[in-house]
Amino acid sequence: METTLIILKPDAVQRGLMGRILARFEDKGLQVVGCKLMQIPASLAEKHYEAHKSKPFYAGLVKFMTSSPVLVLALRGNGAIAIARNMMGATFGSKAAPGTIRGDFGLSNSFNLIHGSDSPEAAEREIGLFFAKGEVLHWPRHADSWVYDMSGGKPE
């Protein structure tokens, strides 16, 4: 099982889309193992997006991410990173396919509603930035036997 970090960005929070977006992940079968509404301090936004520091959009991205509360999630599931990224859709809402989060709720190429880890290494780093030890829980979800075929001993 993989765990990924998802951030519902300020535009998703301000537009009242948190519940609808979270429901999509739960409907898909991903397990919420961490969740917090927070105002990201500039220092955390700068660290989270440090790979983009030399890019022209960096300062605006940090300003945007600190402009309003965000909902930070840790989601767990078999292939959670790829599944979440597919559900998110293309980076720019104007280019995202219908049926994806950005395709259904987004038009802007700047405000793109959601962030998701792009690799297991990024997920581990990002979860460590946003969640303290003990805030991401490991709990048995009884519905897993209905989400995954476990007959082979591992989730499929």
Q: Which of 52, 115, 138, 142 is catalytic?
A: 115
Structural tokens at position 33: 């193992």
Listed in sequence order, the residues at least 6 apart from 105 whose beta carbon sits closer than 8 Å to its beta carbon are 12, 15, 17, 20, 21, 93, 113
Over the Cα atoms of the chain, what is R_g? Answer: 16
Shortest CA distance to 38 belongs to which of 135, 151, 121?
135
How many angstroms from the chain centroid is the CA of residue 117?
Answer: 7
Give the 3-state secondary structure percentages of the chain, helix then strand then coil, rounded to 5.
Answer: 40, 15, 40
Under the phi-then-psi rule, with left for phi > 0, alpha for psi from -120 to 50, and beta for the rest, what region is 89? Answer: left
Angle at 18 between CA 147 and CA 35, to 5 degrees: 65
Annotation marks residue 52 as catalytic: no
Which residues are part of the catalytic machinery?
115
